Amino acid sequence: MDIIAVTRHGKVRGHLQDGIPVFRGIPYAAAPFGAERFRAPAPVRPWEGVRDALRFGPTAPKRPYRPPLDRLIPEEPIPGDECLNLNVWTPGVDDGARPVMVWIHGGSLRNGSSSMPLYDGHAFARDGVVLVSINYRLGVEGFGVFPDAPDNRGLLDQVAALEWVRDNIAAFGGDPGNVTVFGESAGAISIGALLTSPRAKRLFHRAIMQSGPPHTATREEAAKIVKLMAGELGVPATAGAFAAVDRERLLDTQAEVVGKANPITGGPAFHIVAEPGAAPVEADLLIGANREEYRLWFVPTGAVDRVSRLTLRLALLKFRIPARAARLYRSARPGARPGEILGEMATDLLMRGPLNRLADSVERAHVYEFAWRSPVMDLGACHGLEIGFVFDNLRHCRELAGDDAPQELADAMHRAWVAFAKTGDPGWQRWDSSRPVMVFDSPGSGVVHAPRDEELRIWLDRER
């Protein structure tokens, strides 16, 4: 059965899927190709008649994850120019009173798309929420820093998508006055930037940041990857010169320069540039991380076994980490390998510490930790594992979670996310001096006050 919704640019045709109205591939900005390739997003041209919104739209140009992550996080590129598009799952288009959630995918600002089956929004619409998922420009086209192009083009795309939500979501049954943005990894980092961006002010009211703390870089730091690529390409480090390079060659060079870099061990990467005139954070926050984030990068690649005691000592010296930190982590984890100790410390330094500092700095925050351990490849409670539980979509996260992931845990997490979007209260105590953390696990989830606080204090004290 076809469903028609009327947007400001024209009518779109969706369809019922398992009783839920779904609209896919709706453009929220003009195609960023040709003259628009390295510019800020431009408005969509209105269309006549009814436009089909029955299939996912094109994905932003990218290369797949490097092996072995390509097997754990499969991506299916969709060719085409109109990659600035979004999708809507809704309980119904009859009124504009339902809470809205906008999903911003992760992928180190160079991978990912809204069309991944893991991000199917059926369960949110089933439970009374209008779910929107968006694409945005990636890699050098979205986040490369040039003297002749605006910074943060991928972030500007996200703002344009939120403006589309403000202007159009009532036609899909959503309340533009009750919008929650949520995202994981680079999606959460993007939200950290949106929270203080004057451009995004009043475009959303609540925010959920999964496994991605606020992080921005100076223009000089963010421009380093462009200079490396320019050297490989033999062209000036300008948007004009990059626009003249064949896109396939540009993507190949980008993949070569990035190499084996990852969020834990570092290396050449894309960053969001710090925006001047940052505004105070006014949104309600739900933030957290997975207990063993590092295992997604350390275990499948074998890095966890290659880290020796000497490597661990050298890492402590390089990052000026006190030796007592390693002793403390080892004493709490008898039998842990040096690579596991290093990974645990990196998770706390890069994830838990910054997220706790964010919770300390705002008035209204709830904090969680995802602790259930996947049996697949000994991944444990690794980065990205919680997404299938949040979306109540375990059938599409078997690569990470296996065939027997606990449905009761998905019920609990999904219910908390829906409750937060509806009321600002996910169901447990707000963050205060007692540091309450909802630990999601199976069997049994519950609040723990100041978990592993002695370890975390090392990183909090280090930043003072």
Report residue 96's pLDDT band, with 50, 70 and 90 as the boundaries. confident
Does residue 94 have a pLDDT over 80? Answer: no
Find the radius of gyration of the CA atoms of the chain: 22
If phi > 0 it is left, if psi is from -120 to 50 it is alpha, else beta; for residue 109 that is left
**Residue of 185, 190, 197, 374 marked active site:** 185
Q: Write the burial class of residue 406 (CB in 10 Å: 0-12 exposed, 13-18 middle, 19+ buried).
A: middle
pTM for the model stands at 0.97
Which of 383, 386, 414, 445 is the catalytic position?
A: 383
SS3 (DSSP) at 244: coil
Neighbours of 234 (CB within 10 A): 8
Task: Based on the residue annotation, tell me whether 292 is a catalytic residue of this protein.
Answer: no
- Tens digit of pLDDT for each residue in 247-286? 999 999 999 999 877 877 778 899 999 988 788 888 999 9
Residue 271 designated active-site: no
344 assigned to active site: no
How many other CB atoms are there within 10 angstroms of residue 95's CB atom? Answer: 11
Catalytic residue, from 82, 141, 292, 293: name it.
293
Work out the average pLDDT over 120-125.
98
Per-residue pLDDT, 443: 95
Residue carrying the six token digits 């995918």 = 105
- Over pLDDT 70: what percentage of the chain? 100
Going by C-alpha positions, the residue among 122, 123, 102 that lies closest to residue 182 is: 102
pLDDT for residue 220 is more than 80: yes
What's the burial of 103, exposed, middle or buried (CB within 10 Å: 0-12/13-18/19+)?
Answer: buried
pLDDT 10s digits, 298-333: 999 999 999 999 999 998 888 888 888 889 999 999
pLDDT of residue 279: 81
What is the pLDDT, as a whole number, of residue 461?
75
* Residue-range domains of the chain with CATH: 1-282 (3.40.50.1820), 286-464 (3.40.50.1820)
pLDDT, mean of residues 46-67: 96
Tokens read off for 73: 């996080």
Dihedral of the CA atoms 96, 101, 107, 111 (nearest 10)?
-10
